[in-house]
Amino acid sequence: MAILRGGQGADDGFFQRQQSRTADFNAGDVGVVPKTLGHYVENVGDTDLIFLEMFKADRFMDLSLSEWVSNTPPELVMAHLGISRETLQAIQSKNP
């Protein structure tokens, strides 16, 4: 669960088969992302984005999508995201 304290944000949750959903948030909004989905938060306003994330877990790891893609065997990435090898290679070539 995340509570947006200030600014304007967008949360993009990504699913298998190249599907994603973007939700826009403003100060005071509360958002929930299912625990099995990857997601990222983006500042879409012209001020700082301030939010509080809470997890029902004793451990949390922040991992960027490009970091996950580069450190996971290609076959697992393709199976999890439902993408072809060509799509994976295109993603990898755009992220240093």
**Residue ranges in the chain assigned as alpha helix (H):** 65-71, 74-81, 85-94
CA angle 61/44/89 to nearest 5° reads 60
CA angle 65/46/94 to nearest 5° reads 25
Ramachandran category for residue 90: left, alpha or beta (phi over 0 → left; psi -120 to 50 → alpha) = alpha
Q: Of residues 42, 53, 67, 75, which has the active-site annotation?
A: 53
Residue 86 catalytic? no
Residues assigned a catalytic role: 53
